[in-house]
A and B are shown apart, each in its own frame.
Chain A
Amino acid sequence: MTILHGVSFSVAAGEAVAVVGVSGSGKSTLLALMAGLDTPSSGGVRIAGQDLFALDEDGRAALRGRSMGFVFQSFQLLAAMTALENVMVPLELAGADGGRDKAAALLQRVGLSERLHHYPKQLSGGEQQRVAIARAFATSPSILLADEPTGNLDAATGAQVIDLMFELNRERNTTLVLVTHDETLSARCGRVIRLAAGTLQA
């Protein structure tokens, strides 16, 4: 079964792009391919000139670790680790030094300096997503991939979290690809890519 067909586009460095479409239009699959989380039956993805699928699974993981940050609808924090440890994970995976200080600084930046040693289940949904945002920016990635980041949050909390994400994105001049079906969210991005039944709409 073909989920995406004839989808071709490029995103410039520092650009913010929204991918929109109804449920089942292939948005998540597109995001997965862009992140190298899944492999296409044909076609390719280039990140800063590097062919993603010329790399093996570990190679793609390393590339993600170096240059991509992620924010998911269901937060995807590690339940066994504290907020601080969650933010440290990508730093440690990349073998960076001083992870603890950097992670603490980021958590302070997202307004959770009082919550460093709390476990995810002790945090509210909004707080969890803030931890996820801090984690996404921990390795100073050049690309941020976000999948329905407000999907599991109420409107007010969602708005705060999104403001924070855009703020950080601007500060760090990160390339943003945001998957959403929320039109007000997509309106905040520089460009909108519409998907329907697995193909690009004009």
Chain B
Amino acid sequence: MTPLHELRMALRLLLRDLRAGELTLIAIAVVIAVAGVTTVGFFTDRVQLALNRQANQLLGADLVIAQDRALPAELVQEAQRRQLGVTQMLRFPSMAVRGDKNVLADIKVVAAGYPLRGEVRIADKLYAADRRAQGIPAPGTVWADERILSRLAVAVGDKISIGNKGLQISAVLTQEPDAAIGFINAGPRVMLNEADLAATGLVQTGSRLRYRLQIAGSAEAVDSYRGWLGARLQPGQRIEGIRDARPEIRSALERAEKFLNIAALVSVLLAATAIALAARRFLQRHLDACAMLRCLGAGQGQLMRMYLLHFTVLGAAASLIGCIAGALAQQALAYWLGSVVAVELPRPGWLPAAQGMVTGLALLLSFALPPIVALGRVPTLRVLRRDLGTPGARGATGYALGYAVITGMIFWKASDPRLGAYVVLGFSGAMLVAGALAWLLLKGVSGLRNRGISWRFGIANLRRRPLGTVIQVIALGLGLMALLTLTLIRNDLIGAWQASLPPEAPNRFLVNIQDDQVAQLQRFFAARNVAAPQMHPMIRGRLVSVNGRKVGESEFADERARRQIAREFNLSWAASLPKDNRIVSGRWWSAANAPREQFSMEEGVAQRLGIKVGDRLTFDIAGSPVTATVTSLRKVDWDSFNVNFFLIAPPGLLDGQPVSYVTSFYLPPRHNDLLNALVQQFPNLLVIDVAQIMAQVQIMMTQVSKAVQFVFLFTLLAGLVVFYAAMASTQDERIQQAAVMRTLGASRAQLTRAHLAEFAVIGALAGLVAAAGASGLGFVLAVKVLNLSYNFSPLAWVAGVALGSAGIALAGHLGTRRVLSTPPMLVLRELG
């Protein structure tokens, strides 16, 4: 036979098997695995592409130098000397006020020349057609976005106050290049001319100012300027070019992508199980035909090549369908998550589709290969003697390739050997535990055997193939566990967290309180019969050296550590240990005459930066160095919502440094008049609404868990395919059983009950495994991650068992309806 003949024959075999339904489950398993993987691939690819395309736009320039303090004039002069476009920009949060309404706004102060890249668009009134803005707001006027206008209930032409200055809104801001953080919307925006900045009186000690020097020009000029800058860059100054735009979003996205990919791999793993089960059945049903073909002169190699082609074509077709399903599903996901993504997403590239095809083919071939090899080796004598058995069913070793492929996929998707190893170990461990649990449960349900014929029959069926039953229970259990974790357990955790908050936990933070305002504020609160909250001093300083050695962000791999080094620390002083703090190592200063050169550091940040008790830290505070030794590490209960600091010094060490104060307090509901009066009297204060921030965090958590839930839908589907694949391998025996039972006088109802009992038990066991897994996960999350005490939710167990038994009874019933209508006549014939 020529290769062309072989291909034709392989295709003919494939078509015949497809028509006979021999490949349906295998194809569905591949489609689900590929759809899960490509959904994640397409979606994250679109977000990445959007990020790349927007990089230039996001910067509003070709190069940006950012710092928390005013940038040295030298940088501007050098850029001007090189004929580069330059403009300075300043951003800070402040309250925007109109009458009795106020809103925390993101103020952007711009100068002539802004923006260097991209365009600002404005409109004459809310929701009117917008146009490209010429220049920047005139002095005395501001441009404000829709959120400012609606929250303050103002229109173009009205005046609002920023700090001490009244400013007229002259246009609605609809688009700006360096808008927000791109994907997470920043606060409501007010754009202000730099000429008005001084009059607002907002540039004060403790103000959260972010200066940005924007530079644009020819690529060579910008590169050469960047080179010049390199050596002169000081701690705290950061360069952002197009290539390093938004590193924090990029890395957050990479983490999310990894996580979603690994979640998608759970369905790949289940699909692999289904393929292995279905391929085994395929082998058993094709041995006779293959023996016949060999009798008729087909060589071993020929048979193997034919079936290899057969499965390759099948795999390619199923993977293609999976890719299409993934493309549709990611569209649904993007639509569903609409509000997470503030920008329009571009169309995805082809790479995720290619990865999907590779995944599907690798999965199918690696798990179908043992049966293919076995088919090729079928002894010709089987034509005469059917009992010659199955060749080369070498059990676990046959699947070594499959294990290797799955492990490879995990390492590929984790793109970090350590994470990959953790996931592989985690998966294997979880499987073993779930398997052991399922096996024990299976032993445990034997008691049900004595509860009448339906139960006896159902349980007997389960115990007849304990391995198959255990696989079904694990597969379904995993799917159900994902569901339970994301619904009940998530709600439990949020509930437990909320319950752990004291009822009158502070819900407002006051930031930016000046030295001379402390006493005024205390009088303000006293006059309104509100307990005056404790004012904490706050000093900003940059960590410059540890034990005399300079520190730079490049030394740290951890994202949070790098950011911590790049930014300024908030330092404070206190005589006694704050009440939400607990010393975990070292000692707190007790006597009033204790040495002044001491720091107490928060445990988490110390761990991230690798700092221990005894280390000497030097901070640059407003240009002057302050050095002291770390004498204690504290554990802080951040959930208390009280003001807390990473670093505290004893009174005295920080005397004479520029200080501002912060406080937090509980504002009872319906006391907004207090807030309004506060903002009117102290326009420079920032009121941070913790409740609102928490609401935003919760929205984000909900959306993230929605995305994960979406991906876990594929897990549930894959679990069902495993269930059906395992069931298909018992189909012949079920048909015989049904025929015997009918002959012995069983009614259709009795048979149905027996089947329902069997499937309900599988479902209930899967539900128990799922509840155990979800509760375990919830416990670990609560105790290890969230520091909450965890109450095991009985609902998860009830829901797991109820959902599992009802759902699987239904699914199983649908899968065995054909068996129930078996004519009893079959008992008289030999079953093939």
Contacts and interface: CB of A to CB of B under 8 A. Distances in A.
Interface string B663-687: 0000000000000000000000000
A93 B457 CA distance: 11
Interface in A27-45: 28, 31-32, 35, 37-38
B741 A79 contact: no
Most buried by A among B736, B740, B743: B743
Contact of B744 (A31, A57, A80, A89): A89
B740 A76 contact: yes
Interface in B811-827: 823-825, 827
A76 B745 contact: no
B793 interface: no
Given A70-B744, A93-B746, A80 B460 contact: yes
A15 interface: no
Task: Give the interface SS of chain A, mostly helix, strand, loop or mixed.
Answer: helix
Interface stretch (A6-14, A59-67, A105-113): A59-67
A38 B823 contact: yes
A94 interface: yes
B733 interface: yes
A21 interface: no
A114 B464 CA distance: 21
B828 A58 contact: no
Given A32-B828, A76-B736, A147-B828, A37 B461 contact: no
A147 B827 CA distance: 10
A92 B740 CA distance: 14
Contact of A65 (B746, B823, B827): B746
A164 B736 CA distance: 26
B747 A61 contact: yes
Interface string B729-754: 00001001101111111111110000
Given A79-B464, A79-B733, A80-B464, A65 B825 contact: no
A78 B740 contact: yes
Contacts of A79: 464, 733, 737
A80 B750 contact: no
A72 B456 CA distance: 23
A93 B741 contact: yes
Nearest to B460: A80
Contacts of B453: 89, 92-93
A149 interface: no
Nearest to A82: B460
Contacts of B464: 79-80
B463 interface: yes
Contacts of B457: 78, 80-81
A199 interface: no
A38 B457 CA distance: 25
B738 to A, nearest CB: 10
Interface in B410-460: 452-453, 456-457, 460
B344 interface: no
A36 to B, nearest CB: 8
With most chain A CB atoms within 10 A of its CB, the pick from B741, B745, B823 is B745
Nearest to B456: A85
Given A35-B743, A92-B453, A93-B741, A72 B460 contact: no
Given A38-B823, A58-B747, A85 B460 contact: yes
B461 A90 contact: no
B456 A93 contact: no
Given A76-B740, A92-B456, A57 B748 contact: yes
A28 B456 contact: no
B825 A32 contact: yes
A92 B750 CA distance: 11
B387 interface: no
B592 to A, nearest CB: 82
B233 to A, nearest CB: 76
Contacts of B745: 61-66, 90, 93-94, 139
Nearest to A65: B745
B736 A37 contact: no
B445 to A, nearest CB: 14
A74 interface: yes
Interface in B767-813: none
Interface string B86-129: 00000000000000000000000000000000000000000000
B830 interface: yes
Nearest to A138: B744
B452 A70 contact: no
Contacts of B748: 57-58, 61
A114 B463 CA distance: 22
A4 to B, nearest CB: 14
Contacts of B740: 76-78
With most chain A CB atoms within 10 A of its CB, the pick from B741, B744, B747, B824 is: B744
B360 to A, nearest CB: 36
Interface in A116-130: none
Contact of A90 (B460, B744, B749, B827): B744
B119 to A, nearest CB: 74
A61 B823 contact: no
A74 B743 contact: no
Interface in B455-493: 456-457, 460-461, 463-464
Contact of B456 (A35, A70, A81, A90): A81
A53 to B, nearest CB: 14
Given A37-B828, A89-B741, A62 B460 contact: no
Contact of B743 (A64, A77, A80, A92): A64
B255 to A, nearest CB: 49
Interface in B8-31: none
Contacts of A88: 456
A20 to B, nearest CB: 16
Contacts of B741: 78, 89, 93
Contacts of B744: 64-65, 70, 89-90, 93, 135
A31 B825 CA distance: 10
Given A62-B745, A81-B460, A89-B741, A74 B830 contact: yes
A61 B828 contact: no
A62 B827 contact: no
Contacts of A89: 453, 741, 744
A84 B812 CA distance: 28
B747 A62 contact: yes
A174 B461 CA distance: 33
Contacts of B830: 74
B742 A61 contact: yes
Contacts of A74: 830
A75 B520 CA distance: 99
Interface string B583-603: 000000000000000000000
Contacts of B824: 37, 61
Contacts of A31: 828
A79 B828 CA distance: 17
Contacts of A63: 745
A125 to B, nearest CB: 14
A151 to B, nearest CB: 10
A61 B739 CA distance: 11
Interface in B160-187: none
Given A31-B828, A38-B823, A70 B750 contact: no
B324 to A, nearest CB: 42
A92 B747 CA distance: 12
25 contacts: A28-B829, A32-B825, A37-B824, A57-B748, A61-B745, A64-B744, A70-B827, A76-B743, A77-B740, A78-B457, A78-B740, A78-B741, A79-B464, A80-B457, A80-B461, A80-B463, A81-B460, A85-B456, A85-B460, A88-B456, A92-B456, A93-B453, A93-B741, A93-B746, A94-B745
Given A61-B747, A74-B830, 20 more contacts: A28-B829, A37-B742, A38-B823, A57-B748, A58-B747, A58-B748, A58-B749, A61-B742, A61-B824, A62-B745, A64-B743, A64-B745, A65-B744, A70-B744, A78-B457, A79-B464, A81-B460, A89-B741, A89-B744, A93-B453
List the 6 closest pairs (A to B, CB-CB), nearest first: A65-B745, A80-B464, A80-B460, A92-B453, A58-B747, A37-B824
